[in-house]
Amino acid sequence: MPRRTSRPASDRASSKRPASGRAARGAGREDSVSRLLRFARENRVETLDLKYVSLLGRWHHLSLPAERLSESLIREGVGFDGSSVAGYDKGSTSDMTLIPDPETGVLDPFWDRPTLSLICDIYKGDGTPFRRDPRGVARRAEAYMISTGIADRAMISPEFEYYIFDSVRHRTDPQISFYEIDSEEAEWNSDAEDARGTRIPNRAGYQALPPQDRLYLLRDEIVRLIQQAGIPVKYHHHEGGGPGQSEIEILFHPLLHAGDATMMVKYLIRMSADRAGKVATFMPKPLWNVAGSGMHIHQHLFLGDRPLFWDEGKWADLSELAHWYIGGLLHHGPALLGLTNPSTNSYKRLVPGFEAPVNLIYGLANRSAAVRIPAAGRTPETKRIELRPPDATCNIYLALAGILMAGLDGIRQKIDPREAGFGPFDQSIRNLPERQLRRLKTLPLSMGEALEALEKDHAFLLEGDVFDAETIESWMELKTREFLDVRNRPHPREIALYFDT
């Protein structure tokens, strides 16, 4: 069973101010190394599994015998070839080093032998941090926030929406292109011999009860593993899309830990589904005309023990600083989507007719808004905002860093979303007059538009040396290649529409 080797989850997720200062951090790392070594001995660990993230946001790993685990390995790391990893250095600069973060240690529940999993930071061969390491970008974003004096903690809680299917087949060649998905919950299987009238109609799966919800035992097992990995879970349920859609929400973590938790949750979900003979996907829109899967990002800022988004008696009990933060998110929204929604499939979810946002607006409890202020935040500590466009195709570290940088820029520039025409809109905008609807600013309609916006508007990301031009250029190059790869291929629907012209 997975267990964390670091401090208890309740401490990591609390609103208390974390220790700061170089000496404290150094002493803390030494303590965490000692705890890690003791944990490995007590659990008779036989294998170490070192995980690191590519620029595209996917985990890679390498494994080594547990006998290699020592203080020097944690300090000096393990070398690897960065030239084979998307977005990393080529040629003579490709020799890189993985430095394990001892606070990320967890027993992996899917290996046959006791295996200790560790998330790593990436260093260059000369011993300096690698600038394109996504965890490093997230660390620098937190450090920049502290340096501004605005806040010393950004607390983050992602929502995980995903589908679990029974089978997925696909093929793309010059003469053929198709995919086929099946789910035992799906309405299209209502005539199956074992259906028993329990299939879930399209868009009618929200918090469905067993026996319609056939995934509850698997989802409950996933939540058990997430909790044992030291990640507190808020709740889980069947989602509204219909066949196979589920949601799990976790509690708040500081930004870097939220990134680590996101990677671990996605791993546990995918592996649990695979072990059950199914397949999980975080693809934003795997099914046409069915609700897509987003990754809404709940967030708020603290300075010491003081929550910065609360001002009782104001609109939605929201402070001016919170308004400026929202102003930054919406002002930089089109560019931000180049990081938070970086797939061609992302924009098949961000369409009218579903709960996914299409306009750059904000409002209280408004699920059609890009920024929603949850009505449940009725105390200073729970007052938060929810950014609704993001999805799980993002590199979570880059996305969270970009979100924080946009919000901080809004505070620095005092960007008032009310004056900028972003709202507030406390109700759905569907019934607004057409003339007023036309004045609303919209989200990008495609990945290409989002990347163009990011190319034009990324100076806010360079503040404090958090991102750098080379990282953004590498990201743009990889993502433009993906965009063109999809854009340049004939689509099966095009055959139906145009073949007989």
Are residues 276 and 323 both part of a single domain? no
Are residues 338 and 436 both part of a single domain? yes
Are residues 272 and 320 both part of a single domain? no
Q: Is residue 184 within 8 Å of residue 210, measured between CB atoms? A: no
Are residues 333 and 473 both part of a single domain? yes
Are residues 461 and 336 both part of a single domain? yes
296 annotated active-site = yes
pLDDT score recorded for residue 201: 77
Are residues 72 and 145 both part of a single domain? no
Average pLDDT over residues 309-329: 97
Q: Note the pLDDT tens digit of each residue in 345-386.
A: 999 999 988 889 999 999 998 988 999 999 999 999 999 999
- Domain membership of residue 456 (yes or no) is yes
- Domain membership of residue 2 (yes or no) is no
DSSP SS3 for 337 = helix
81 annotated active-site = yes
User: Is residue 446 pLDDT above 60, yes or no?
Assistant: yes
Stretch among 191-195, 236-240, 319-323, 435-439 having the lowest mean pLDDT: 191-195
Are residues 322 and 442 both part of a single domain? yes
In which band, very low, low, confident or very high, does the pLDDT at 92 lie, cut at 50, 70 and 90? low
Half-sphere exposure of 127 (CA within 13 A, CB side): 2
User: Is residue 256 pLDDT above 90, yes or no?
Assistant: yes
388 annotated active-site = yes
455 annotated active-site = no
Q: Which of 129, 146, 180 is the last residue of a domain?
A: 129
Q: Note the pLDDT tens digit of each residue in 131-188.
A: 999 999 999 999 999 999 999 999 999 999 999 999 999 999 999 999 999 998 888 8
The single residue of 153, 388, 409, 458 carrying the catalytic annotation is: 388
159 annotated active-site = yes
pLDDT score recorded for residue 438: 82
pLDDT score recorded for residue 481: 97
> 19-28, 203-212, 301-310 — which one is most confidently predicted on average?
301-310
Return the percentage of the chain with pLDDT > 90, whole number. 77
Pairing state between β 359-364 and 369-373: parallel
Complete DSSP assignment for 457-482: S-HHHHGGGSS-HHHHHHHHHHHHHH
473 annotated active-site = no
Peptide bond into 492 cis (omega under 30): no
In which band, very low, low, confident or very high, does the pLDDT at 23 lie, cut at 50, 70 and 90? very low
The single residue of 219, 238, 253, 296 carrying the catalytic annotation is: 296
- Domain membership of residue 1 (yes or no) is no
142: its two tokens: 């937190």
Are residues 300 and 274 both part of a single domain? no
Residue 195 belongs to what domain range?
168-287
Are residues 31 and 103 both part of a single domain? yes
The single residue of 247, 260, 311, 317 carrying the catalytic annotation is: 247
User: Is residue 26 pLDDT above 50, yes or no?
Assistant: no
Q: Note the pLDDT tens digit of each residue in 232-250.
A: 999 999 888 878 999 999 9
For 440-466, b where at least 16 C-beta lie within 10 A, e where not — what string?
A: bebbbeebbbbbbbbeebbebbebbeb
295: its two tokens: 């990754």
Q: Is residue 329 within 8 Å of residue 406, measured between CB atoms? A: yes
Rounded to an integer, what distance in angstroms lies between the CA atom of residue 190 and that of residue 171?
27
Chain center to CA of 364: 23
pLDDT score recorded for residue 430: 73
User: Is residue 20 pLDDT above 90, yes or no?
Assistant: no
Q: How many domains does the chain have?
A: 3
Predicted model pTM: 0.92
The single residue of 237, 367, 455, 457 carrying the catalytic annotation is: 367
Are residues 305 and 447 both part of a single domain? yes
Q: What is the CATH number of the domain that holds 71?
A: 3.10.20.70
Are residues 403 and 469 both part of a single domain? yes
User: Is residue 121 pLDDT above 90, yes or no?
Assistant: yes
DSSP label at residue 284: S
Average pLDDT over residues 46-52: 97
In which band, very low, low, confident or very high, does the pLDDT at 197 lie, cut at 50, 70 and 90? low
171 annotated active-site = no
Q: Note the pLDDT tens digit of each residue in 420-436.
A: 999 899 877 777 778 88
- Smallest CA-to-CA distance from 462 within 424, 396, 419, 408 is with 408
367 annotated active-site = yes
pLDDT score recorded for residue 22: 23
pLDDT score recorded for residue 214: 86
- Domain membership of residue 27 (yes or no) is yes
pLDDT score recorded for residue 209: 67
User: Is residue 458 pLDDT above 80, yes or no?
Assistant: yes
pLDDT score recorded for residue 91: 63
Rounded to an integer, what distance in angstroms lies between the CA atom of residue 396 and that of residue 386?
16
Average pLDDT over residues 378-405: 98
The single residue of 103, 133, 161, 166 carrying the catalytic annotation is: 161
Give me the helices (H) in 43-98, please: 71-76
- Domain membership of residue 3 (yes or no) is no
Return the percentage of the chain with pLDDT > 70, whole number. 92
User: Is residue 7 pLDDT above 50, yes or no?
Assistant: no
27: its two tokens: 């002493």
Residue with tokens 């494994």: 63
User: Is residue 475 pLDDT above 90, yes or no?
Assistant: yes
Are residues 249 and 270 both part of a single domain? yes
- Domain membership of residue 481 (yes or no) is yes
The single residue of 89, 101, 103, 159 carrying the catalytic annotation is: 159
Q: What is the CATH number of the domain that holds 432?
A: 3.30.590.10
The single residue of 11, 81, 274, 305 carrying the catalytic annotation is: 81
139 annotated active-site = no
Amino acid identity of residue 313, one-letter, is: G
